[in-house]
Each structure stands twice: as structure tokens, then as C-alpha cells.
Amino acid sequence: MPRPTSSSTLGSLVLIAVVIGGSGASFAYTAGWLSPDQLTPTRLVAALAPPSGPVAGHRRNHAKGICFTGSFEANGAGLALSKAQVFQKGSYPVIGRFNLGVPDPMAVDGAARVRGIGVQIATPDGQEWRMAMINPPFFPVASPQAFYALLVASGKKDDPNAMKNFAAVHPEIGAFGAWAGSAPFTESYAEERFNSLDSFTFTDGLGADHVVRWSLVPAAQAVSVSKDDLAKRSNDFLEQEITQRVAAGPQRWTMTVTVAEQGDPTADPSKAWPDGRRTVDVGTLVASKIVAEPDGPCREINYDPTVLPSGIHTSDDPFPSARSAAYAVSYDRRTAEAAAYPTHGGAPQ
């Protein structure tokens, strides 16, 4: 069988090897395998883990929580900002989750500084709006990279300078520290104001964009509890309290949307917007039933803040993208470990 001369064959084989090797290398580069310092979702999630390691089967952050069901009662006013069906006057089903901003599902309720809520609202057009909000008025840091650096620094318990060095580079942490040190603790999830912190873009029916943040403002009067008093409460007092309170009657929060003005720091959740911004009350979140998490409907929901209906999309805030990537990793992990977190009714499906 005639064949090309061996030297041209060799050249061809080298060329083929270069093409294949180059493709493999660019694939590895794209996958980040050649950049050990790149902040990947996996590294971000790993940094959340407590010193004893992540708790199998549970969320990698905000691990302790309790489910609720209820509704979102839209008053129609939100249509001025977004065409999403969720703002049309009406009642839409909600699956939510009250939670503590810690990676330990056995955490003591009174010890957690940050309390959160996950909310999923479903509308008849088949769309969903998922959100995960917390009670501080601003986020500790200005970027996902800074959040990672904060997790790394606060994990270095044996290095007294780690946090000092971090604060020198990220002075915005000071405001959060001041809030954490001075804000009163309430006795109930029902008394918390939860804030989106991140900004999002609402698009109205005419196609105009409005960059907004929103809050859930509690109807219940806040009763503050002293630190000493908190220490005496049972480990799960927040969960017990909300279970009893909701059993006695539905709990409500007004959803207030704040519209940014030109020049407001829309990309930086560590900075509150100035007072006096236009706000629109768009409806009421109602929690009408509490269900424990192991068998609850919120357990398998990833409250990914980028699950948005048409009429809402992400803004220039860099957090939602990082959160979406990290929450997916957390979800992939915890669902793979579901056997470690049995339901009360038996083994998970």
C-alpha cells in the first residue's frame, strides 16, 4: 500500500499532536484547572464550611431553617415598576423558609446575628420569583471576592491579625461590625425586616428599566431581647416561637420596593442608598403554615436569587451571579447527600 514518505508523515503526526494537545490545554484552561487562584463557586462554597467541615445533606450556608407556606397578596402598585405577573393584583402561592445565617444546622437560635428568609412566589403564567433576604441593612462587603476573603480571614482563628488585615483592605466591613454590635435582637422571625440588599432591574410595561432593592417590613411590632435574656432561651426558640405564632394567626410583611436614583451605588450591597428614595409598597407576604424542614416543601428549593420572572432581571450588582453559582454547588452537594438528612417520614426519595 503506498504511503507518504516518513518525514512528511512525521510532520503530519506532530501537527495532529499539536492540534489535539492544544485543544486539551485550552479546555483545561477554560475549566480553570490551570488557575489555582481563580475564585470558583466550589472554592467559595468550601470557604463557608465551619472548622469541623460542612454538614452533609444541609445547605452550605443558612443551614438551619424551617419551612412555611402562604401567599403573596399583590396590590397592583408594583406594575408601575415591573410588568411581572406577580405584581398584578391577586394572590399567589408562596413556599418560604426562615433561617439563620450560619453553616451549622444545629446552631443555637439566639447566637446567630444574621437571620434570613427564602421566598418562592409562583404565578399562573408558570413563572417563579425566588429570593433570599437577610435582616442586616447592608451586606458586610462590596464584592463576592471580598466575601471570600472575609470567609478566609474569619476562618483563621489562630491569626489575631487576619481580621485586622482584612478590615484594612475592606473598610466597608466597619459599618457591618457597628450594626452587628448595636442592633437589637428581636424575639421572632415575624418581627424581622428582611432586605434584598442586592439590586435588581425591574422592567415596566412600557419597557423602561428601574433599578431597585426591596424589603419585607414586618407587620408585627418588634420586641427586642437583651443578650442575657437571649442566652437563656432554648436552642430552637425562634423555630418554636414562629410555629406557635403562625398557628395562632398568619404573619405578614409588606413588600416595599425602593427605586435607585442616578448615581446610587447599585453595584455595591455594602452601601445603603440615601434616604428619600421613591418607595412603592407592592403587596403583602403572608406566612400561614409552618412545616419542619426535614419533610417541608422548602427543603428541596434552591432559593437562587437569579430565578426571576419576566419583568425582573439582574442589575450591575455582581453578587447575584456569584450567589447563583455558589447556591447551585451547595444544592448539588446537599441533594447528593440527602441520605445523611433523613425525612421524618422515612428515607428521602
HSE on the CB side for 251, CA within 13 Å?
A: 27
Q: How far is the CB of 128 from another protein (least distance, A)?
A: 5
Query: All 3 cell numbers of residue 263?
Result: 448615581
Number of residues that bind another protein (CB under 8 A): 52
Considering only the stretches 115-123, 156-164, 242-250, 281-289, report the one whose residues sit in contact with ligand HEM under the rule CB under 6 A: 115-123
Query: Could you say which of another protein, ligand HEM, none residue 315 binds, taking C-beta under 5 to 8 angstroms by partner kind?
Result: none
Pairing of strands 312-314, 224-225: unpaired
- State which residue, 90 or 105, has the beta carbon closest to ligand HEM: 105
Question: 80 with 204: CB under 8 angstroms?
Answer: yes
Pairing of strands 209-218, 128-134: unpaired
Query: All 3 cell numbers of residue 46?
Result: 468550601
Which residues make beta-bridge pairs with 256?
215, 281
Query: All 3 cell numbers of residue 331?
Result: 444544592
In angstroms, the CA 170 to CA 12 distance is: 55
* 129: contact with ligand HEM by CB under 6 A: no
Among 75, 90, 105, 128, binds another protein (CB under 8 A): 128
Residues 225-264 that bind ligand HEM (CB under 6 A): none
Query: Could you say which of ligand HEM, another protein, none residue 224 binds, taking C-beta under 5 to 8 angstroms by partner kind?
Result: none
Cell 431597585 found at: 212
Residues 284-313 that bind another protein (CB under 8 A): 300-302, 304, 306-307, 310, 313
Among 54, 59, 83, 241, binds ligand HEM (CB under 6 A): 59
In this structure, what are the phi and psi dihedrals at residue 15, rounded to the nearest 5 degrees?
A: -60, -45
- Which residues are near ligand HEM by CB under 6 A? 44-45, 48, 59-62, 65, 97, 99, 116-118, 132-134, 139, 144, 147, 196-198, 269, 302-303, 319, 322-323, 326-328, 330-332, 334
